[in-house]
Amino acid sequence: MSHLQNLIREHRAGAAAGIASVCCSNAEVLQAAIAVALEHGGPLLVESTSNQVDQFGGYTGMRPADFVAYVRELARAMDFPADRLILGGDHLGPNTWQHLPPAEAMAHARALIAAYVEAGFEKIHLDCSMACAGDPFPLPDELVAARSAELAEVAERAAASAGLPPPVYVVGTEVPVPGGEASLEGGIQVTRPQAAAATLEAHRRAFAQRGLEAAWQRVIALVVQPGVDFDHSTVRHYAPAEAVELSAFIQDHPGLVYEAHSTDYQSEHALHALVRDHFAILKVGPAATHALREAWFALAAIEDELLPIEQRSHFKAVLERCMLEQPGHWTKHYPGTPSQQATLRRYALSDRSRYYWPAEPVQQALATLKANLDARPLPLPLLSQYLPEQAELVNSGQLAARAADLARHKVELVLARYARACQRNTAEAPC
């Protein structure tokens, strides 16, 4: 039985256990996630989306096997036990190829699934909810489920061929598309229990029609909308009273929990409540990279105070230039005047700047920023001004005043909320 199946069993036995799914490819965020997992114990679940990683490289340039090797090496370098690391694939299906007719899009999706499973991904979110060219819109549950079952069959064969244990599955989607975010202006609706029931039953029948009853026993979670989301400047916080019926529904389905996407920026109290209410898999990504961006901006401000202009990294300006030169990752997402767009590029909660971290100019500017700050003692008053939580730990000798350590710690603070919320039988954080 896998770590995830054990966790679900514990949760359903009343242990209030959960797990955070860190959906990110940024090395510093993943190092922070590893550090938090080392401190709090238990497994670490890291996921990549179908946009980030696919058989052609995705926007990260990594294929599934590359991503697995990359994350495993980060874990090895920090002495994180290999058997506690879980790799997952998010929104795996025809998403990237929606512009193609269904037959072509699904052919790519089959290759995607096989590549993920053969590379060693243990958790597979089957998501065929997106309409392809010529499809009806929205897709009926039966068609979504049939395509998902087709991909599950591919995954089962791929695991067997590779001599690997078969994966566990997550089905359903009532969330924004991978890498995107929904505007909260029109409000969001908590998934109705009837809709959850229809999704589950359609998938159960589709699996059975392909003789995948054994695989269906490894479906551990259903993706639903518990009423949490965020856009560029607003957070929709979890309201337990609105999800009472949805929470109750899953209690009649042993072996299953909910997977909640877009839990970024929720309070720790809300995260505890989500796990308690059976939303036991909590996806987080942009909140972590947003915290990292905040840290580097703060450190760049300290650099501006300490160095003459000709020696500075000009990190913020370099990032802005890269985003303007390659606007594809933000221009369709950030509305408004040029001034409003500039503010969103720098500070939006949706953090489209995360797509630009791998760019060589950004990496060079970061390297200069780190070198500049690590070459001299950082004055405590400046740390207190720009990174007050980290300054307290530096002052007490608990944190090194190195740029990378300071930035990583800011991310760790975000991820530690998830670790505490997901620990078995921990007391809820105060409101």
| Interval 124-163: pLDDT, tens | 999 999 999 999 988 999 999 999 999 999 999 999 999 9
For residue 202, what pLDDT is reported?
A: 97
3-class DSSP state for residue 67? helix
In the chain the domains, ranked by start, together with CATH numbers, are: 3-285+417-422 (3.20.20.70), 289-414 (1.10.400.20)
Percent residues over pLDDT 90 in the chain = 93
For residue 304, what pLDDT is reported?
A: 98
| Interval 260-295: pLDDT, tens | 999 999 999 999 999 999 999 999 999 999 999 999
Residue 429 has pLDDT above 50, yes or no: no
Q: What single-letter DSSP state applies at residue 62?
A: B
Specify the residue for token string 């899953």.
250
| Interval 32-80: pLDDT, tens | 999 999 999 999 999 999 999 999 999 999 999 999 999 999 999 999 9
- Cβ neighbours of residue 367 under 8 Å, at least 6 residues apart? none
CA 10 to chain centre: 23
Beta pairing partners, 92: 126
Residue 175 has pLDDT above 80, yes or no: no
Q: How far apart are CA 148 and CA 258, in angstroms?
A: 18
Residue 25 has pLDDT above 70, yes or no: yes
Give the tokens for residue 414.
Answer: 């975000």
CA-angle at 212, arms to 207 and 214, nearest 5°: 125
Q: How far apart are CA 279 and CA 310, in angstroms?
A: 51
Pick from 2, 87, 5, 1: which is nearest to 280 by CA? 5
The mean pLDDT of 78-99, rounded to a whole number, is 97
Specify the residue for token string 């990683």.
53
Would you place residue 424 in the very low, low, confident or very high pLDDT band (cuts 50, 70, 90)? confident
For residue 38, what pLDDT is reported?
A: 98
